[in-house]
Structure 1
Amino acid sequence: MSLLSERQKEELHKSILEYLHANNFIDAFDSLRSETGVDYTPDPKSKYAGLLEKKWTSVIRLQKKIMDLENRNATLQEELSLSPAKRAAMQTDWVPRAPAAYVLTGHRGQVHKVAFHPTFNLLASASQDMTVKVWDWETGEFERTLKGHTRDVNDLDFDSKGNLLVTCSNDMLIKIWDVQNEWSNIKTFAGHDHTISAVRFMPGDQQIVSASRDRTIRIWNVASTHLVRSISAHLDWVRCVSPSEDGRLLASCSNDQTAHITDPLTGETKVELRGHDHTIEVVVFAPTAAYPSIRELAGIPDTDRSRRPGAYAATGSRDKTIKIWDTQSGQLLRSLAGHDNWVRALVFHPTGKFLLSASDDHTIRVWELATGRCVKTVQAHGHFVTCLAWGRTAPTQRAPDGKTNGADGKAPDEKFVNVVASGSVDQTIKIWLP
């Protein structure tokens, strides 16, 4: 069966004849007219003038479109062929990207801190407006407001089961709220002589640790609310305090431009981290998952396979830098520069491959730990970004000696949820989801 009809053949022959005549190929013109028997008189005004060129270029354009579509189809087929398990694995290296999934509004002052509930899809936020607000981060819906403090609420933390929430304030009080009993305020701790900047549950949830402008770090018994120990490690306002995974060490930082690694049982300073030239706003211990990347960054030999909690820490300062430290020797391993203003918050990626930072330059930055490079900058808020938190992570079960419960001594694979929350002086909280 012929692909071309008689009419189409005639049209094609006439357009070729017109082309040959227009380009002065007279012999070819005569020969084709004779062989096809087409009776055609060339006419530059006829519909056949330039028709061959038009058809030719449209064929080329069509071919290009077909190739583009074939490439796109191949890409989509490749994505579809990935099993859900493979797609999930690809998500493990997820980091926040604009735009945020939700913008939570309701606070009437800057947001100081955010904390994820360890099991429910809940986020708690502490604000200058003297309240704590609770949100459903999965839907972006507001749940409730907790009132009780009479000044700025500066920090908050859930216990490991999510039964209790602890908060601290400029009113010099620490409060514990019972999540399962309508979030009622069940305990209040008094004793600090000035603004309380930070509060955390110690591993095991029997004690809490707080840091204050009165220059002390204090450890309290949750059940009795009694003061267990007061530690005077710093010469100025203590901005932040954080326990290691096994609770055997405390990291703290201060307006005195130092960070300290302290023994919570004796109050003795193990190591002083000195190198910043302004107030240190934040200090966090690196999770054991980050050790291989930190060792690669610092050029520490592969022979060091220790997974002892609290071996490394990161600090963020008003000098605009982030510093990574060996907490045993006090050695500065690397300084990360890139922010244009104070660094306010740090959080390690659950895989241990990245460090996320938040700054007064309105951005969240993602640092690749193995190289120290900033691999992503997210324009996060319209004002200073004050805090940052990663979604819940299943805690590694540790034996009393601090070792992990993996048969080979390695930590078991931790399950984590890809969600990040940030808070700002712009009074909003943003939820970043894949």
Structure 2
Amino acid sequence: MHRLITSGLMFGGLFHVAAPALVERYNRALDHLTGRRTELEDFHVDLSGFSPEIGDEFEDMDYLNPGGCNRQFILLSTRQADAPLLEMKFSNSADILREFIAANEAQLFTLTARDAVAGELQNSVWSVADPERLLDIRRVTVEADTTSGTVRDAETLDALIRRFRTEPDAWWDDVLVAKMIDLARRTGDVTRAPVTFENPSFEAQDFWTSHHGGLYVLRSVPKPAILARAMDREILGDLPVHALSDRGAVAGFLRDNALAQPIVEGRGPDAVDILREKMDILAIDALAQGGHLPETPDPRALRRATTRHADALPPAFHSLARVLSWAEGRGDWPRIDSDDPAYFHTLRGAPGPLRDKVNMMLAEIGPEDFRQLHICHKSAFYARYAAMPEMWKAWVANNLATGYAGQTADVWRRLYASDAVPRMPKVPLREGWPIRREGPWD
């Protein structure tokens, strides 16, 4: 993984904790949540406050997520909102944390100036050892406070103030007044600067989870279903379960719920560039595994190797080549249905709240597109990277470092913004074809 780390492709964008005061605040929060402290004097944390260095120190990458069900978090700064979420078990955890920080930015800015904010993303279940328990997850509640209990004290003070204002004899209650003064010393004036958190509870209808081999629970669509990599279909309740390897079933699910659209939107230079990039990526993946790549990453050398070893290229490469010929005006529109190996490489998530989850699913279905896998499904990318030969790693790290790392926003927007109306030719269904084998543009 060293190539990825030095290229900023792994553990990039983390929040650096180096000041002794921040380290001590982190340790107080860590002790509050887990009963442990770190001996490290500086380290990096992600969106949730998880540190890969501390995970290595503890030999426990789940030290803030025991059981992988109710993730704990430590906030030292609102700038953590810009950091990625590592060791993700549920896809909605990052969105919930970022929304929580955005909704409470002013309060968090004030609180983290003096203390760490620690808390937990509480699902409605405590364990997902039984796969069917995943279906009981409907909402996620954010429980958060400083290590000194500022929010709790503020709530208590607020209740005492209401009592003081409404009870006729409260002016003469010395005990009540003393409690209010003592709490106000710790919380400040909660009547002018309330110390409360907004939006503490979030819907969890749709999510990906790494548990039980990895699966997608999508319930907010007209035809809900579970899509799983490896799962016994009979133990997940009443929802239909589709295997990700069942290309027709997945294609039908995406079509029936209008969740996908073509990644190229018509002829032109943009479509040509996207298709050429995808073809190069598929060529690198196939040639590396066959031992046919040059030792040094170079575009011209890749073109020569692609020509010389065309028989080693996957069928998806040749299907995309036919689409490229059409996009360049050199050929007819090709028919690509769900049985074609290139089918899912021609799609991206449609606009809407499930766009990112669909892109994640498409990346998992077509992992040979390592750029899409890195952008949309990092945990799957890192697992595949670790298992691949060194030549593949060198080429992949170079490709991502030169073609993606320095322009992440532009690349993401060009590939996955998906806010344009497709302008693709209409192709009638071939007679006798089942509906589930429709192409993406029918």
Structure 2-normalised TM-score? 0.22
- Considering fraction of residues, name the structure with more strand: 1
Structure 1-normalised TM-score? 0.23
Report 1 or 2 for greater relative contact order, CA contacts < 8 Å, sequence distance ≥ 6.
2
